[in-house]
Amino acid sequence: MDRLELVTRNTEEIVTLDELKALLDNKAHPRAYVGYETSGKIHLGHMLTANKLLDLQRAGFDVVVLLADLHAYLNEKGTLEEVRRIADYNRDCFMALGLDPDRTEFVYGTEYQLKPDYVIRVLQMARNTTLNRARRSMDEVSRSSENPMVSQMIYPLMQAVDIADLKIDLAVGGIDQRKIHMLAREELPALGLAAPVCLHTPLIPGLDGNKMSSSKGNNIAVDEPAEQIEKKIMAAFCPAKITENNPVTEIFKYHIFPRQDQVTIRRPAKFGGDVTYSSYAALEEAFVSGSLHPMDMKKACAAAMVEILSPVREKMG
């Protein structure tokens, strides 16, 4: 798999593909980043972008992980002391997920976001951005979207300035970050700063087939006990022959096959015996055709995720 294939696989959108190709042609080690609000457990939603960071490192990128403690504070996720403690915990989780320690730079927002030069840039952006635009940018990520605080309007401006301040070539995030990234692409040049290339990963459904939410308990934290992972996946929504909004097939596509070359489904001989798939496409074809039963797929999914997440449990246990 070449550099471009590694970077673009399992993505929802690249803004723009031509700019990404030029970046890869002109830089051996571009800088990519993801910012994570330090507001709780690291779960499969966060892990999806972490998987993309692994792809980027394999493609020669240097990776910056912003542990956005100040962002979390502004978005009403806890006191500064609480979100900083969570940031330290999050950092250990991400390292256990396989990021290269020699190619990963962890940065805490409070380390630089209160410096005068940074604050001036945020205020300059504030002068160029309407309140409606800032509010639209926060629609997907705000805790209080119906009645947002002023602090939450500052949040997207800071995120744009982060990209410039950290000297980022490629901004990575879930597709819910798109509006904020587009704000950065449009407004940073007005401050004489470069617009980033943006890469967006899809949002995968929760285990019940609905929107993933920590408050609903329909996701898996990366440090959960093995028996809890198995229990949750075996109870997950997984309609036969249907992949749309199917969390089990999504876990195979975005979490298992990027980390494992093949998957073996263990079955009794009377149900066809063991079968091995060397790609997600092959597994999906078998599932849609009906030759792969949801229960057999769930068992294989649970076993694979228990194995993949074992380094996190060992480190955080």
194-216: per-residue pLDDT in tens?
Answer: 999 999 999 999 999 998 887 78
- CA–CA distance, 177 with 47 (Å, rounded to integer): 15
Residues 97 and 57: beta-carbon distance below 8 Å: no
200, 11 contact by CB (below 8 A): yes
80-89, 97-106, 145-154, 278-287, range with the lowest pLDDT: 145-154
**All structural domains of the chain:** 3-201 (3.40.50.620), 214-316 (1.10.240.10)
pLDDT of residue 42 exceeding 70:
yes
Q: pLDDT class for 152, splitting at 50, 70, 90?
A: confident
Task: Output phi, psi for 36, to 5 deg.
Answer: -120, 120
**136 vs 237: which has the higher pLDDT:** 237
Arithmetic mean of pLDDT over the chain: 93
Provide mean pLDDT across the span 302-317: 94
For the stretch 155-198, pLDDT in tens is 899 999 999 999 999 999 999 999 999 999 999 999 999 999 99
Burial of 297 (0-12, 13-18, 19+ CB in 10 A): buried
Mean pLDDT of the region 48-56: 96
pLDDT for position 150: 85
Question: Does 317 score more than 80 pLDDT?
Answer: no
- C-alpha 232/C-alpha 227 separation (Å) is 9
Token pair of 313, please?
Answer: 């449990």
Alpha carbon 128 to its chain centroid, in Å, reads: 29
Is the CB of residue 268 less than 8 Å from the CB of residue 279?
A: no
Distance of CA 193 to the CA centre of its chain: 25
Split at pLDDT 50, 70, 90, the class of 141 is low
The residue whose two tokens read 């692409």 is 185
Residue 153 has pLDDT above 70, yes or no: yes
Secondary structure (DSSP) of 16-85: THHHHHHHHHH-SS-EEEEEEE-SS--BHHHHHHHHHHHHHHHTT-EEEEEEEHHHHHHTTS--HHHHHH
Q: What is the pLDDT of residue 312?
A: 96
Q: Report d(CA 251, CA 306) in Å as an integer.
A: 12
* Distance (Å, whole) CA 154 – CA 127: 12
pLDDT reported for residue 140 = 66
